[in-house]
Structure 1
Amino acid sequence: MKEDLIKIRNEIDEIDSKIVELYEARMKMSERVAKYKIENQKAVLDKEREKIKLQKVGDLTTSEYTRNCIIDLYKQIMSMSRERQYQLLTENGKIEKPNFTAVEELDFSNSKIVFQGVSGAYTELAMKEYFGENCDNFHVNTWKEAMEALKNNEADYAVFPYENSSAGIVAENFDLLVEYDNFIVGEQIIKIEHSLLGQKGAKIENIKKIFSHPQAFMQCQKFVDKHKSINKISMKNTAMAAKKIKEDNDITQAAIASKSSAKIYDLDIIQESIQDNKENYTKFIIVTNKKIYNKSAKKISVCFEAPHESGSLYHMLSHIIYNNLNMDMIQSRPIKEKNWKYRFFVNFEGNLEDAAVINALVALKQDAVSFRILGNY
């Protein structure tokens, strides 16, 4: 029985050698196709041709199982073929670079920055960390208003919380990136340490209501669960919650906010460091209304809607894989106007000057129902 298995494996090895040989021969044909398309200014993707090809190879099979497998295999082979054609087109200057302007460095001189919240907000802390303590700034009540400020040229840059290491993404801001024609140009990560703040002399046994942002409640879930009898009330911002405690002057109310908010609003720290994860960080993005990027940028953010068919997301992500690009985030968000359909947000390493990045972006755009580059930073 052991000898039979060895024989079978040897036969498989022989078949695999032939498959590799045939695959390389097919890719050489793809290069010839690319040359023809360069000379005749033809598009790389021909969806009708691929549809017919998949039908033909499927018809060559002898069972429904192998038919499905072969069709999936050929989708990958044709995707690899297109990637090679895009590479050759890029090398010959036939692929246009994304319509973004590279700058040596971002210019913050005479810039006005907008953030959501009030003094003491974590977003303000991130802004000062990125732009400097004395940057020219103003605040608004909502993240949407911050996007509007950019749109109306009332601000040059805005700062938004993007993702927390404990509670995940800030979904509303992902949706706003799609809604507005603004672009990510930078990011700032800061450590988030939540404290329970109250009136002077307040104790935990006095508290009947706690105000904070929903993300802060999520990040302090163990503390929240421990004090289930206390009413939790959501606010748009942790610093707004602290400000409310100061203004209401009610010893039965408290806020989950930063230590700096306690100092700003002259509140007592009833209990500090109440977040579940002591290594709790939030990533903030820097957004502008200009299609610019720093020449030293190392990360690309895109969003797209994949075709509503089996394996479409898998095949689209292959464009990143085949170009040897490292993806470090993928998130999905429901598309409001399309029930049960989703938009995907993807971050991967690279610069808009890189040939591999250009190839991946072109291929993604070709395959997507809708596609946008959100920034290079």
Structure 2
Amino acid sequence: MKDLKQCRYEIDEIDEQLMALFEKRMQVARDVVNYKMAHDMEIFQSAREIEVIEKNISRIQHNDLKPYAKHFLTSMMNISKTYQSTFLSFDKNLEFYTPRMENITVGFQGVPGAFSQKALDTYFGPHTKKQHYDHFKDVFEALKNDEIDYGIVPLENSSTGAINDNYDAMRDYDFYIVGEQSLSVSQHLLGIKGTHLENIQEVYSHPQGLLQTSLFLEKHHIQPHTYENTAMAAKFVASLNNPHIGAIASSQAAKLYNLDILQENVQNVSNNATRFIIFGKRLEISDDASCISIVFTLPHQVGALYQITKIINDYAINMLRIESRPLLETPWEYYFYVDLEGSLKNPSMIQALQDIKAHTQTMRVLGNYAKR
């Protein structure tokens, strides 16, 4: 058996060789990224990484060491990508614009009295020119066709979670989030004049409105029916003039469509709130912007998401939220939406995003905006 002194001497010798080889490998990694940038090639190729790892693991003679070798090689690959990311110009295509608040038209889904309109008026002011559409997708199409300057849609409710269709649309249309408005949402049971709570057998509302009031509806044995929008549901119920059919909507919708409020505040939780996003075609950043939204995909391998969260931790960035959505073309793989606290005008944040990009298959900045 070797004594401890001899073991330490040999380890020191090996470490000296390792450091020399490490430095040499990183210099070659730098040469690789410079060549790829000069020739407009894809910088990071997960298939090549897997090939390198498998090839080198096969060189290990002791099978019990192969799992450790894989961990060592994976860590070295990640370190190499982080180093290579410092040579990328992630922000070269980022052009910042100043947000507009005047002489604009903003689109929302629903009819007058919708919560989206209330969020719009809260963010831009009640005198802003507005255009309403029947479906969420119509708002995105309207911006695409330059019918409006901005769109506003709900993205998440504090009690029922994400509105997934709008997450997907933000990604698919390549628009930017330019602002956020959080709105306290009070849901009410509405009915035609003269009816009462005990008469109501069915209600209409947006799926989120029904989810947010599910406990009340179950308690009173009221059958829920989905509708495109809470205010549209109120307008529809008013047109039916049926004392047994109600709507879940706002007090403003009750006034607009001449309905009675049969029961106030029927939402499941008292502090019910919805997060609305304002989106446009350009990357607009206000002076008080403090939230960065990104979307990315990852290689389908162990530790891929961990590496992203590690980078966020290493740069001391506060991650505000994370949401996943399935990749329809690839079962059991996902898009990841992440909100980070910070500004794109901060060089350290740009470096962090370059590092994240180096460890993802695709990555896009969705916006840098203020949360209200």
Q: Quote the Cα distance in structure 1 between the aligned partners of 2:310 and 2:154.
A: 29
Q: Does 1:83 align with 2:82?
A: yes
Matched residue, 1:157: 150
Candidates 172, 176, 184, aligned match of 2:169: 176
Deviation at 1:36, TM superposition (A): 5.9
Report whether the alignment pairs 1:102 with 2:96: yes
What is the identity percentage for the equivalent residue pairs of Structure 1 and Structure 2? 34
**Aligned equivalents of 2:173 and 2:120: distance in 1?**
21
The 3 A distance-change label for structure 1 pair 319 and 50 is farther
Cα–Cα, structure 1 residues 134 and 30, in superposed 2: closer, same or farther, change >3 Å? Answer: farther
Number of equivalent positions = 355
Counterpart code for 1:68: P
Aligned residue type for 2:325: R
Query: Per the alignment, do residues 24 and 174 of structure 1 end up closer, same or farther by CA in structure 2, a change over 3 Å counting?
Result: farther
Supply the AA of the counterpart residue of 1:76.
Answer: S
Cα distance between partner residues in 2 of 1:251 and 1:316: 55
Taking structure 2 as the reference length, the TM-score comes to 0.84
User: For each residue in 1:135-184, what CA deviation from the matched residue of structure 2 results, as whole angstroms up to 9, or x when unmatched?
Assistant: 11110000100000100011001101011110000011011112212110
Aligned residues of 2:325 and 2:334 also touching (Cα < 8 A):
yes
Q: Is the 8 A contact 2:343 2:349 kept in 1?
A: yes
Following superposition, the deviation at residue 311 of structure 1 comes to 2.5
Whole-Å separation in 2 of the counterparts to 1:176 and 1:225 = 32
* 1:56 pairs with 2:56: yes
Indicate conservation of the 8 Å contact 1:98/1:352, yes or no: no
Deviating more after overlay: 114-123 vs 245-254? 245-254
Distance 1:24 1:376 in 2: 40
Offset of residue 70 of structure 1: 4.3
Unaligned 5+ runs, structure 1 = 1-13
Amino acid at match of 2:187: H
Q: Give the CA deviation at 1:54.
A: 6.4
Counterparts of 2:170 and 2:310 in 1: how far apart (Å)?
24
Which residue of 1 is the match for residue 130 of structure 2? 137
Q: Using a 3 Å threshold, how does the CA distance of structure 1 residues 355 and 78 change in structure 2: closer, same or farther?
A: farther
Q: CA deviation at 1:319?
A: 3.1
Return the alpha-carbon distance in structure 1 between the equivalents of residues 34 and 112 of structure 2.
Answer: 60
Q: Say which is worse superposed, 211-220 or 75-84, in terms of deviation.
A: 75-84
Shift of 1:300: 1.5
Instruction: Give matches, 1:264-303, under 5 Å.
Output: 264-303=256-295
Using the size of structure 1 for normalisation, the TM-score is 0.83
Distance across 2 between alignment mates of 1:243 and 1:96: 49
1:363–1:268 CA distance, 2 compared to 1 (3 A): same
Q: Deviations over 1:94-129 (max 9, x none)?
A: 6241523223x4112111000000111111110000
CA distance in structure 1 between the aligned counterparts of 2:311 and 2:25, rounded to whole angstroms: 16
Counterpart of 2:202, as a letter, is K
Structure 1 pair 98–211 and aligned structure 2 pair: CA distance change class (3 A): farther
Aligned to 2:330: 338
1:84 offset after TM fit, Å?
4.2
Report if the CA contact (8 A) 2:133-2:139 is conserved: yes
Distance 1:143 1:39, change over 3 A: closer
Q: Is 1:249 equivalent to 2:241 in the alignment?
A: yes
Give 1:265 shift. Answer: 1.5
- Aligned residue for 1:128, secondary structure, equals helix
Structure 2 SS opposite 1:196:
strand
Partner of 1:188: 181
* Equivalent position of 1:8 in the other structure: none
Gaps of 5+ in 2: 1-7
Q: Is the 8 A contact 2:136 2:153 kept in 1?
A: yes
One-letter code aligned to 1:101 = E
2:307 to 296, 315, 330: 315
